[in-house]
Structure 1
């Protein structure tokens, strides 16, 4: 038996618009464009047949989840899980991308964002590594797929998505606001596989 997981990134915030690092320490709300993105995402995913929506506790994710849940034919239950929160980016939270690159260099920043397994533990001072983010999120997803639901929605963050893509060795694609990553979990092999719709 296989289960479908649709993993959504939240809608845009002003921090996204300003190209700032926004981890779990910055609990920003969706801006007007982010609200519209979430509405469009809700329309787009209507036909997926999700029966539950799991969500990060951060406001931007909860707002996005609410848009999806309210638009479904039967209002989806939203279950908040701490382990779906964005990564902790330590000292760089709130800094612009340019400020972070000037301070740490392009190579270091690239290794934090898209690490290979030999630099999986690199992190900003005071922050989490991709290994740490991946570990808690994978543990969380493994608990989710053990539930009865066969089509599952998850609302989270770019750092979570890139940790999953690195850890599951998926194609490294941009994690735009309200983008969708479709994974299928095989209960027999206990493996996640990316589905390209």
Structure 2
């Protein structure tokens, strides 16, 4: 049986993550020291895996999360289709009650089926999935890449998982995630379907000291 194994991770922590600031695709933040430690821990745990290719978004926090693998010589591509959702005009702002209320109402609307509703001056989940599909079609068109590593973002990862498992976008919030978590997925070329192996795995981070109180 011809199969592809996908290691799908969310990027490591940034200062915006720590401070509760929405990043989205319009804020190109870097990993903080804890995020870099997470990336090192992930590399230490999975450097033995024979990855044939690495895929990241165009945003540097995903690239930094897998930089050790790239530096080891594994081929790498970045695709804007893997970028985080655009959260629109509220990206990069310090948390406040008005913005947080807006996001809560928006996510409830998505959960209730209005997945074509975009963030103000941003994207909708349906638009994100539309740009993700060509990237996944490209990845699946390369069966010679039997084991791959994809680094992306929280909301975009939830959307992608509904695409892979042919689920409605209203199901996206069932996929939990944390910084530098791992989802493992297999794809069968014979059956043309994905199989879930594990999700939101952070066992590779358990040896790290708590970064802050």
Tell me if TM exceeds 0.5: yes
Between the aligned partners of 1:110 and 1:38, the Cα distance in structure 2 is: 32
Q: Is the Cα contact below 8 Å between 2:3 and 2:188 reproduced in 1? A: yes
Counterparts of 2:97 and 2:53, CA distance in 1: 38
Q: Give the root-mean-square deviation of aligned CA atoms.
A: 2.1
Deviations along 1:56-82, one digit per CA (max 9) or x if unpaired, are: 111111111213333xxx521221112
With over 3 angstroms needed to count, the CA separation of the structure-2 counterparts of 1:84 and 1:106, relative to structure 1, is: closer
Q: 1:90 is matched with which residue: 84, 88, 91?
A: 88
Aligned residues: 190
Could you tell me whether the CA contact under 8 Å between 2:185 and 2:194 is conserved in 1? yes
The separation in 2 between residues aligned to 1:77 and 1:92, in whole angstroms, is 35
**CA distance in 2: counterparts of 1:55 and 1:109, whole angstroms:** 25
For residues 70-107 of structure 1, the C-alpha deviation after alignment (integer angstroms, 9 at most, x for no partner) is 3xxx52122111211111111221132754223x2634
TM-score between the two structures when normalised by the length of structure 1: 0.86
Aligned with 2:24: secondary structure?
Answer: coil
**Normalised TM-score (structure 2):** 0.80
d(CA) in 1 for partners of 2:138, 2:114: 27
For residue 150 of structure 2, the aligned residue among 151, 154, 158 is 154
Distance 1:106 1:143, change over 3 A: same
> Would the aligned equivalents of 1:65 and 1:78 in 2 still touch at CA under 8 Å?
no
Distance change (3 Å), C-alpha of 1:14 and 1:183: same
Unaligned segments of structure 2, at least 5 residues? 200-213
The answer (yes or no) to whether the contact 2:106–2:119 under 8 Å persists in 1 is: no
**How is 1:129-168 mapped onto 2 (pairs within 5 angstroms)?**
129-147=124-142, 148-167=144-163, 168=165
